[in-house]
Amino acid sequence: MRAVKKLLPNENIIYLGDAARLPYGNKSADTVIRYTLESSQFLTSQNIKILIIACHTASSVALPALTTLHSLPVVGMVDPCLPALNSKNGKIAILGTHATVSSQIYQNALKRLSPNTSVSAIACPLFVPLVEEGFIDSPITQESIRHYLLPVKEREIDTVLLACTHYPLLQNVIQDFLGAGCRLIDPALNCAESVKTILHSSGLINNQTEEGRSVFYTTDDPEKFQRLGATFLGKCIPFVEQVKL
């Protein structure tokens, strides 16, 4: 959302956070698909012109079901990332949730696109609760990074995709651990650029000059959403409405 707002400041955005059922990343594909379809139906009922699945887990497992159900354009996190996944030494790591890693979506895509690249897909499930609890630069986070990412360092991987919405909040600590020679990719910008391209090519872009409005919905406590959402968005969220899915 932050990247989309920056790149497309005139667009109106409706954001839904399914906080009552999070995290998606350690649940089964069937459950994630069901939750994502329910969430998407809430959004499409608001007369939107494009649906963005700003969650790697949901994008990894639910995109086919979403594009079958809806006729409007649907943008996930995975496809927009793929062009950025090039490595000088042919070694790439994908960091994601259990569900994203198990889906094999990145591993399969890279096998097709650059068959000589070695891909390490690493589930880092503790990163989500660490971010949610605000442990950004704590010894606990540093121990967790060492645990999950020591193999990345040892294999001298030079390109690492942060394939979960929460992980870019740990970007600095991860970069410190892996060193400056390793390129970290935050896929938010790639996703926002895909959205811009689709809106342009389909004539759906908003050419108004006034700043777009944002509306926020959550399925759990609005106050908690405001607090945590501000960390991600980098600014205050004045009003959040609770909905039941």
Give the residues lining the site for a copy of itself (CB under 8 A).
Answer: 19-21, 26-28, 30-31, 125-126, 128-130, 132-133, 135, 138-140, 143-144, 147, 219-221, 224
What tokens does 15 get?
């954001």
Give the bridge partners for 120, in sequence order: 93
CB atoms closer than 10 angstroms to residue 135: 18
Of 55, 81, 124, 182, the catalytic one is 55
Q: How far is the CB of 63 from a copy of itself (least distance, A)?
A: 20
Q: Any idea what DSSP says for residue 213?
A: P
Nearest residue (CB) to a copy of itself, 74 versus 177:
177
Q: How far is the CB of 58 from a copy of itself (least distance, A)?
A: 14
Q: Any idea what DSSP says for residue 211?
A: P
Nearest residue (CB) to a copy of itself, 194 versus 218:
218
Q: How far is the CB of 126 from a copy of itself (least distance, A)?
A: 6
Q: Which are the contacts of 157, defined by CB distance < 8 A and separation ≥ 6?
A: 87, 89, 91, 92, 93, 120, 182
Nearest residue (CB) to a copy of itself, 130 versus 191:
130
- How far is residue 129 CA from its own chain's centroid? 15
From residue 38, alpha-carbon distances to 32, 75, 98, 154 in Å are 10, 17, 22, 42
Q: How far is the CB of 70 from a copy of itself (least distance, A)?
A: 23
Is 164 among the residues known to form the active site?
yes
CA distance linking residue 182 with residue 175, whole number of Å: 7
CA distance linking residue 164 with residue 125, whole number of Å: 10
Q: How far is the CB of 127 from a copy of itself (least distance, A)?
A: 10
For residue 101, with 0-12 CB atoms within 10 Å meaning exposed, 13-18 middle and 19 or more buried, which class applies?
A: buried
Nearest residue (CB) to a copy of itself, 31 versus 202:
31
Of 81, 124, 164, 182, the catalytic one is 164
Is 124 among the residues known to form the active site?
no
Asked whether the CA dihedral 162, 163, 168, 169 is positive or negative, the reply is: negative
Nearest residue (CB) to a copy of itself, 34 versus 49:
34
Catalytic positions, please? Answer: 55, 164
